[in-house]
Amino acid sequence: MSGTDNFVLRSTVTSPFGRKVRMAIDVLGLGYRIKLQPADPLDESDTLRQQNPLGKMPCLVLPDGGSIYDSGIIIAAIGSRPADASARPGMSSRPSGP
């Protein structure tokens, strides 16, 4: 995966949990890599339900098609990596070591 791959945050601007994640994205300077795509948890046909089996937002969709959900887990995942995109090639849904 290249360091320029982009991520999608499934959320609405009104979701308080989504807002928490968007604030973290802003603080970490990752806004240029993460595109906000609205989600509707009440819509059975929304792909959110494939991305998060709980059907809740926010949900971070990774470049490899995997996803991370629960705002605290998303923030821990993006916060454990440096903000520099070139230093973030390992961010994946697949664990890479102990």
| Interface with ligand GSH, residue 16, by CB under 6 A | yes
Residues 54-83, one symbol each (x = binds ligand GSH by CB under 6 A, - = not), give -xxxx-----------xxx-----------
Instruction: Please state the closest distance from residue 97 (CB atom) to ligand GSH, in A.
Output: 26
Q: Which range binds ligand GSH by CB under 6 A, 1-9, 24-32, 49-57, 79-87?
A: 49-57
**What distances in angstroms separate CA 72 from CA 2, 3, 43, 47, one per listed residue?**
25, 23, 24, 21
| Interface with ligand GSH, residue 91, by CB under 6 A | no
The 3-class secondary structure across 27-77, one letter per residue, is HCCCCCCEEEECCCCCCCCCCHHHHCCCCCCCEEECCCCCEEECHHHHHHH
